[in-house]
Amino acid sequence: MKISLTHKNKALHKTKTANIPFKEHVTFNETHVFDLPIGYSEKVSLILTLKETKQGSWIPGEEATIGKCVIGVGSEDINAANHWREMIIKSRIAIVKWQFFR
C-alpha cells in the first residue's frame, strides 16, 4: 500500500507499507507519522493506494491499482472525513479505523 500526504494535488511526502506476497486477505498494521506545519491540517489529505504486482510480470515495479481511499480534504466518504477530524483533534494518539477502498 502506498501512502501520500498531498496538498493541492502535489505529494508532500510518500511512504509505503511492507510488501506481503501471496496472501489473499491482508491487514496492514503499521503506524505512519507525518509532521505538518501549523494550519496545514485543513489543507492536506492522505491518499491510500492499494496496489498489486502483476502476476507473471517481468518488469520490476509493474503494479496494478486495486483501490484508493482519500482521508482528509476532498474525502467523499463520511467515515474517512470523521477519521481525519479525529486524527487532528487527537494528534498525539494513534487513531485506528477501517476504511473502504474504491
pLDDT of residue 70: 92
Burial group, residue 80, by CB count within 10 angstroms (0-12, 13-18, 19+)? buried
Low-confidence ranges of the chain (pLDDT < 70): 54-61
Residue 65's DSSP bridge partners are 51
From the CB of residue 84, how many other CB atoms can be counted at a distance below 10 Å? 22
Domains parsed from the chain with CATH numbers: 2-89 (2.60.40.150)
**Beta strand extents in the chain (DSSP E only):** 2-7, 10-16, 44-53, 63-72
